[in-house]
Structure 1
Amino acid sequence: MKTILFINTGGTISSTYQEHGLTPTQSADHILEQIPELRQICQVEAIDLMSMDSTNTQPEDWAAIAWLVRSSLQKYDGFVIAHGTDTMAYTSSALSFMLGTVDKPVVLTGSQVSILAENSDSKKNVIDSFITACGERPGVFVVFNGKIINGTRASKVRTRSYNAFESINYPYIGTVVNGQLIYNEDLPERKLVQYPYNDNYCSEVFLLRLIPGTNPHIFDAIRSLGYKGIVIEGFGLGGVPFKERSLINKIEELMRGGMTIVVTTQCPYEGGDLTIYEVGQRVLEKGVIPGYDMTTEALVTKMMWALGQTQNPAEVAKIMDTNYAEEFSKPGTL
């Protein structure tokens, strides 16, 4: 029987009603006490790493989780991390990069309703996650509502429903149906680079979603605040305005000053392509990095991770254009 480490970080799954609303209060052991069925699946050890609403999660918390997993790899066969749903996709993406090439399953899960509530989705999500953690496929995953999602492709798309997460621009890794783990046999085959553990990061990354009328001087403000990188969510396939209130000159100015800028699409599905329209080609010619079909969560955390290793723009661009954890596919390749 395999041994799985259960890491509690808080979230709705461990919450009870307090003076200011739902607040994480329950320990890992208390959560596990509600799910005696786990004893039939594996041996479980538990640890309380932190107890917070995931809205309060910071990049240093990703590094703390990564270090705990890293330092425990030789002792356990897999890991299940209880996490709040609101920023779970950021954490799963960050761990995918920080942990490097892992040879064991690292599974994040949570719930939309506290484990103490009637008809909660928490017990099923936890059981499915332990089943996945006992499986043979290594990597970082989000397991929710019976779906197994690659860690860099998960995104929370619903605020209340039990099917809160989707796999964006990538097939599900598999499903858990009636306690049975079923891997997707039609996943695309790719040769990914092998890369080592590295939990360094730079949190000075700004996410800018364009709207019609965006003031170009927003970039001066971003620079004055000390940001080292920007992820720009453009229109459609990644278009950036170059006529009235043109943003192109400011983008070029910041890049000449050493800032890393990625341009992607606001649309969650099907990805961007800066080569098709003039509004994409003009900004691509300035040297921005295309975001392809990466999720916002993967783009932001990957840029933080890249800038944590080097702030040389050419090296950062190389890292951003390297596929480490199935985080992107270039147009026409999936």
Structure 2
Amino acid sequence: MKRILLLQTGGTIAMQIRRDADGRLNNLPSDSLEKYIPELSAIADIECLDLFFKDSSDMNPNDWVTLARAIESNYDAYDGFVVLHGTDTMAYTASALSFCFKNLTKPVIFTGSQLPLSVIRSDAGRNLINAVQMATLPFCEVAICFSDKILRGNRSTKVSIGDFTAFTSPNHPALAEIGIDIHVKHALRPSGNAMECYPAFSEELMVLQLFPGIKPARYIPLLAEQTRAVIISGYGSGNFPSSGDYSLIPFLEACMERNIFMVMASQAVFDAVDLEKYSSGRIARELGVISSGDMTIEAAVTKMMYLLARYSSPYQIRDAYVRVLRGEMTPVHTS
């Protein structure tokens, strides 16, 4: 029987409803999971590690490092890993961990739920059973298991607050679908090299989301000395206002003067940023802005945080950012 380490970080799945008048939600210890889901013991030999109990909105890069280190230190002792995590920032943490691990040879499966495990109609049991089952398979991905689908972690984004199908992978097919059988279709293959772990993230970046009426010049004073990169969440294929008081161009020029790395992402979740399509995009490219391709905003942000921590040279960061590191984007083929 495969040995699986279940790592607890908190979230809705880790809550239980108190049987008193206040109805507050409390943390559910991981070692009590089999009380609610006795089927787990038939799937794998599961051991639990409670790292912390956090609402996922409180997760930060220090927690990503703690989680990555916990997996690294237990890597040889287990066949796979399941991470219990709140849904709100699960895609950020899964993306971050995907960049931490190079040459991953074992599954790291994130799961959670929309309702606490102790609620009768909860989706927690099904998600956890599926996640543990996936963690026993020869599957070398950091993935999210939710609602009978396995999605690449750095391709996933949360799209629903109230539906059990909380996540989607807008620009990459599901890695596996779970029905009567589990069909793995699009997973990465092992490289054959030893796993390496680089758990470090820099917070020296800024994300600027455009909206009609924004005056980007107001944000120039926020470009402090510790800002090394800016990710702009633009419109469509990377479009933005380029004339008058609402022009983004003075902001881009201020970034260029300060040697701040600039990336253009999109508020549209499907398809890729193309800076050649419109005149504003071509201006941005001339000012040194690069495209995030078809990455999710979660992947675009965590990839940059990872690279800022690994490299000091802007050229190394730029070279690595436009390359596919962990399956997080579709390669751009140029003629």
TM-score, normalization: structure 1?
A: 0.93
CA deviations on 1:136-184 (whole Å, 9 max, x unpaired) are: 1211000000000001101110001100000120000011214x32112
- Rounded Cα–Cα distance in structure 2 between residues aligned with 1:188 and 1:275: 31
1:119 to 93, 118, 121: 121
> How far off its partner does 1:192 sit?
8.4
Q: Number of residues paired by the alignment? A: 330
Find the counterpart in structure 1 of residue 6 from structure 2. 6
Residue 51 (str. 1) matches residue 53 (str. 2): yes
Find the counterpart in structure 1 of residue 227 from structure 2. 227
Find the counterpart in structure 1 of residue 266 from structure 2. 265
SS in 1 for 2:284: helix
Find the counterpart in structure 2 of residue 315 from structure 1. 316
More displaced stretch, 293-302 vs 271-280: 271-280
| CA distance 1:108–1:4, change in 2 (3 Å) | same
- Rounded Cα–Cα distance in structure 1 between residues aligned with 2:190 and 2:15: 41
Residue 296 (str. 1) matches residue 292 (str. 2): no
> How far off its partner does 1:57 sit?
0.5
> How far off its partner does 1:59 sit?
0.8
List aligned pairs for 1:167-178, cutoff 5 A.
167-178=169-180
Q: Would you say the 8 A contact 1:192–1:325 is kept in 2?
A: no
- Rounded Cα–Cα distance in structure 2 between residues aligned with 1:55 and 1:62: 13
| CA distance 1:208–1:258, change in 2 (3 Å) | same
| CA distance 1:17–1:332, change in 2 (3 Å) | farther
- Rounded Cα–Cα distance in structure 1 between residues aligned with 2:133 and 2:75: 18
Q: Would you say the 8 A contact 1:7–1:49 is kept in 2?
A: yes
- Rounded Cα–Cα distance in structure 2 between residues aligned with 1:285 and 1:240: 15
> How far off its partner does 1:305 sit?
0.4
Letter of the 2:255 counterpart? L
Residue 85 (str. 1) matches residue 124 (str. 2): no
Question: Identity of aligned pairs, percent?
Answer: 34
Letter of the 1:68 counterpart? A
> How far off its partner does 1:219 sit?
3.3
List aligned pairs for 1:1-334, cutoff 5 A.
1-17=1-17, 23=25, 25-178=27-180, 180-184=181-185, 187=186, 196-224=196-224, 226-244=226-244, 245-330=246-331
| CA distance 1:119–1:96, change in 2 (3 Å) | same
> How far off its partner does 1:263 sit?
0.4
> How far off its partner does 1:304 sit?
0.5
- Rounded Cα–Cα distance in structure 1 between residues aligned with 2:68 and 2:311: 20
| CA distance 1:2–1:189, change in 2 (3 Å) | closer
> How far off its partner does 1:100 sit?
2.0
Q: Would you say the 8 A contact 1:11–1:52 is kept in 2?
A: yes
More displaced stretch, 258-267 vs 82-91: 258-267
- Rounded Cα–Cα distance in structure 2 between residues aligned with 1:143 and 1:54: 17
> How far off its partner does 1:117 sit?
0.2
- Rounded Cα–Cα distance in structure 1 between residues aligned with 2:24 and 2:249: 45
- Rounded Cα–Cα distance in structure 1 between residues aligned with 2:59 and 2:305: 15
| CA distance 1:162–1:324, change in 2 (3 Å) | same
Q: Would you say the 8 A contact 1:94–1:302 is kept in 2?
A: yes
- Rounded Cα–Cα distance in structure 1 between residues aligned with 2:236 and 2:284: 14
Q: Which runs of 4+ in 1 moved over 6 A?
A: 18-21, 188-195
- Rounded Cα–Cα distance in structure 2 between residues aligned with 1:291 and 1:240: 15
Unaligned runs of 5+ in 1: none
- Rounded Cα–Cα distance in structure 2 between residues aligned with 1:20 and 1:167: 38
Letter of the 1:34 counterpart? Y
